[in-house]
Structure 1
Amino acid sequence: MSRTPAQTTPQMQPPQLTPDETRVLAECERESLIYRSIPLGLITFFATQYAMQRNIITAKAKWVKLGASLFTGYLIGKISYAPTCRKKILTQIPESHLAHALLTGDARELIAPQQHDSQSSSTRDPNEAVVFVPNSAEPDTHTVPVGVNQYGDPIYDTTK
């Protein structure tokens, strides 16, 4: 069964980054590689090699273990640079869609920025307090400890 042009599903457009966003992301990529990934990869590589020389780790499948340790150090370096990159985005380009998506924690904003009305979150002050009002239709599931056991752990009354 073939589809006619009227039956095709709409495709989501890839995110369109501004030149400033592209520049900051390229800086993050380069700096994470130079300052974190390569050094941590080499440290784990040589630590594994040293452990093999001292017979702490068996030398069986030596190159697999060395490669895995190098790759693990590389990944740890990339992941550990994420908070620094986030801070760099928020300080260098605070008004971008990328910074807005990081602040709201909504990755969908990166894929398809929504049209905002007058009450949008982009016009709110990020330091403004957010108040959560409980829904009266839902039962209160918050429990308060009624005591402490011999190990210092709280005891809750579950007979409600």
Structure 2
Amino acid sequence: MMAISGHKADQLARWLFGSLRALRARLAPPRFDNLSLDGETTDGRHIHLSLTHAQLRDTAALGRGSGEPYHVVAPRQGAAHITLRLYGDTLYVRREGLVGSASLNARVLRVHRQEVLEHGDWLCLDGQVLRLTLHRGAGGTTCGCAGSYPDSGER
């Protein structure tokens, strides 16, 4: 058995951990850290949302194309409550579940009221679907928002 010098062992360990980090990043779902959503609804109400450490995960397999459903992954018990659909640079967000249903994590957005939306929280805006347009800039990722949904036959 051949001995490895301390310097070579350090290099090997750095390479191994770097490779593992790269592999993990490739396999992990995309992340939107501190994603900010600003805009107004179709009836003129102003809203602001902040998704802290939101994770997007393909519902079936990694690498699906534009327009396929993604879900916010809830780290605590229970299923995800929010469906995200990506069409090009536009992110569509839809609240799932029965109309008017709620949970312990439910939040209803009001005029000029700021909310923080975390994993597993419902996106409740009087049952509306929000159309969010992504804007990537130096200050991070922000979104414009309006209450509409593409004509895909799904509501």
Tell me the TM-score normalized by structure 2: 0.27
| Structure with the larger helix share | 1
Q: Which has the larger radius of gyration?
A: 1
Tell me the TM-score normalized by structure 1: 0.26
